[in-house]
Amino acid sequence: MAESPAFESPVVRSYEFSSGGPLMLTDASPTTKWLVRGEVGGAAAERLDAPFGSSRDAGGGALVLGSRPGEWIVLGPADAVASVVAGLDGLDSSEFLTALDWTHGRALFLVTGTDAPRMLEKVCSLDWSDAMTPDGAVASASVAKVTCDIARHDDDGTPAYMIFCDRSFGQYLFDALIDAGNEFGLSVGPAGP
Amino acid sequence: MLLVPCPNCGPRNSADLRYGGESHARPDPATATPQQWRGYLYLRDNPAGWLRENWYCRSGCRRWFALERNTATNEFRNPPAPGDKRGGKA
Ligand SMILES: [Zn+2]
């Protein structure tokens, strides 16, 4: 099998990094991410166990996000993601199931901080209050006019959001998020998975 | 702002969706007359009142669904139940 080419983030401009602040934006695009599509209520759905709108810790740092009806994103450390995806191989099911390595195709940004919901509300029409989108919630919506998957995965009690978009929109969306976060004192963290 | 009740995502800003026009049953191309086919392709009822129409949740669940909207008041009614395949591009 051919080796995957080295990952290149869609975020190519340079920014002044900060190691900490009340509101952080980080480029986490190199994180391994797979897209799985199957049937609602099928064997894969049962195995992945993350219905549309919810997420599940699949062990070893891997997360399964129920991003759409019959569609999941599996992300995290490469070996943990591989073992979740490999678990779909032997399923006794006639459903049409696809699993695709999406690592190079999608940008992933993290927004972390108590003001993160207020910042997101500037660029996305969903209700980001705790009651509507608690820790673990997953949704798809337009963020600054880009169709994104968004998953809330709090960091030790601090609201944190993962925002996925097509890599070709990555640089634009990164800049749009910086713009939206400026009034809350947003800083850009060093990139990394 | 129009709040469209998506059966999967809940109420959504219509900017997150694509309007798919009036919902009509597609005639069988094998038996439809040219007049019936033309009517299906080009003619619309365009009432001031309740109308069954298609919507595509393009930024959300990426599903087509059909529901009724009052074109005079923009009220919605009868969205399909989640997972119900009724409607869509009928
Ligand atoms: Zn929807």
Q: Which residues touch A72 (CB under 8 Å, ≥6 apart)?
A: A35, A36, A37, A38, A48, A50, A64, A65, A66
SS3 A102: coil
SS3 B88: coil
Q: In which element (H, E) is residue A89 found?
A: none
Q: Other CB atoms closer than 10 Å to residue A96's CB: what's the count? A: 9
Q: Which of A41, A68, A125 sits opposite B61 (nearest CB)?
A: A68
Domains with residue ranges and CATH for chain A: 23-30+105-186 (3.30.1360.120), 32-101 (3.30.70)
SS3 A47: helix
**Inter-CA distances, A7 with A102, A111, A173, B81, Å:** 12, 21, 19, 42
The ipTM assigned to this model is 0.84
Q: Are A177 and A109 in contact (CB under 8 A)?
A: yes
Substitution target in B59, B62, B65, B84 with the highest count of A β-carbons within 10 Å is B59
Give the pLDDT of residue A6.
84
- By a Cβ cutoff of 8 Å, what residues of chain A touch chain B? 40-41, 52, 68-69, 125, 139-142, 147-148
Q: For residue B82, how far is its CA from the centre of ligand 1 (angstroms)?
A: 10
Radius of gyration of the CA atoms of chain B, in A: 14
| CA torsion through residues A31, A65, A102, A62, sign | positive
- Shortest Cα distance from B50 to chain A (angstroms)? 27
Q: For residue B53, how far is its CA from the centre of ligand 1 (angstroms)?
A: 15
* A&B contacts, CB < 8 Å: 34
Instruction: Report pTM.
Output: 0.90
Return d(Cα A17, Cα A25) in angstroms, integer. Answer: 10
Instruction: Give start and end residues of each alpha helix (H) in chain B.
Output: 34-42
| CA torsion through residues A128, B11, A66, A34, sign | negative
pLDDT tens-digit map of A138-178: 999 999 999 999 999 999 999 999 999 999 999 999 999 99
Q: Which of B8, B13, B63 sits opposite A125 (nearest CB)?
A: B13
pLDDT tens-digit map of B15-73: 999 999 999 888 999 999 999 999 999 999 999 999 999 999 999 999 999 999 999 99
Domain ranges of chain B: 3-87
Substitution target in B3, B57, B61, B64 with the highest count of A β-carbons within 10 Å is B61
Residues B3-9, mean pLDDT to the nearest whole number: 93
Please tell me the number of Cα atoms within 13 Å of A26 on its side-chain side. Answer: 21
Structure tokens at A152: 């809330």
Structure tokens at A165: 């978009």
- Shortest Cα distance from B37 to chain A (angstroms)? 34
Residues B62, A40: C-beta atoms closer than 8 Å: no
Give the pLDDT of residue A65.
97
- By a Cβ cutoff of 8 Å, what residues of chain B touch chain A? 8-9, 12-13, 15-16, 58-63, 82-83
Give the pLDDT of residue A144.
97
Domain covering B3-87 in this structure, CATH number: 3.30.2270.10
Q: Which residues touch B85 (CB under 8 Å, ≥6 apart)?
A: none
